Amino acid sequence: MVIGKKIYFVSDLHLGAPALINNRERELLFVDWLQSIRKDASMLFLMGDYFDFWFEYRKAVPKGFVRSLGVLADICDSGIPVHFFTGNHDIWAFDYLTEEVGMIVHRAPVTMELLGKKFFLSHGDDLGKKDFGYQLIKNFFHNRIAQWAFAKIHPDLSFRMAHFWSKKSRLSYKNGDKGMKELEAEEQYIYAKSVVANEHFDYFVFGHRHIILDTPVSANSRLIILGDWIKKFSYGVFDGIHFSIETIDDKKIKEHRITI
């Protein structure tokens, strides 16, 4: 372990969400945060739903996000690995983020050792889910024929369709936060308990739920749910000994004219 170096985790920015009015301000706050962690970051994990919608055409990518992607590219170029997990809102990330930005893209849960601890990492949107309708939709979005067909739609129309869909999502109701269930009913908690019964992990780190949670799932294993950058502006920090969930200072949020 490099003394003084930390690993950072963040999830659910939903940049570009049509249900929100402060996308530019939130992106600029995130850029400031990225610049602030460069001095002691050894790795950065973006744990899903970075974009509210993302689809890469062969010769075109979505408008916007240049400020944060530019800083992320610079961080990658400096030798700090940035891991990007696709979420349920940005499934359709293909090669642009790898080839142009330099990030390592993950489309499924990943297990790895970080600073001597064993991690299970995932966006967490379908871990333990028994919702047949949701699984059907997700399988459709992962289908190559469906992706090929969507790519044939003009971007002006396809993006309008996607943004309409997003406005019907939970973001248009409670700014992305449906609140925490009873712990024993939390699907990610149930899933982590089932995994750790057969294989030890020191930390399970998930996003998706837009809640902040740090709770044991066994004597030596913890479940972390990272919150979001819509209302909570939270992130995880691991220094090799402790994992903590921290939040952006309210003063910083106000300086960027973000109303929560």
Mean pLDDT of 94-104: 95
Q: How confident is the model at residue 72, as a pLDDT? A: 98
In this model, does residue 97 exceed pLDDT 80? yes
Pairwise CA distance, residues 232 & 247, whole Å = 7
**Percent with pLDDT over 70 in the chain:** 81
Q: How confident is the model at residue 134, as a pLDDT? A: 53
Do 70 and 77 touch, CB atoms closer than 8 A? no
Q: How confident is the model at residue 188, as a pLDDT? A: 94
Q: How confident is the model at residue 128, as a pLDDT? A: 66
- pLDDT greater at residue 33 or residue 64: 33
Mean pLDDT of 174-190: 75
CA distances from 213 to 9, 37, 227 (A): 14, 22, 8
**Percent with pLDDT over 90 in the chain:** 63
| 167 confidence band (pLDDT: 50, 70, 90) | low
| 256 confidence band (pLDDT: 50, 70, 90) | very high
| 176 confidence band (pLDDT: 50, 70, 90) | very low
In this model, does residue 241 exceed pLDDT 90? yes
6-255 CATH pick, 3.40.50.300, 3.40.50.80, 3.60.21.10, 3.30.70.270: 3.60.21.10
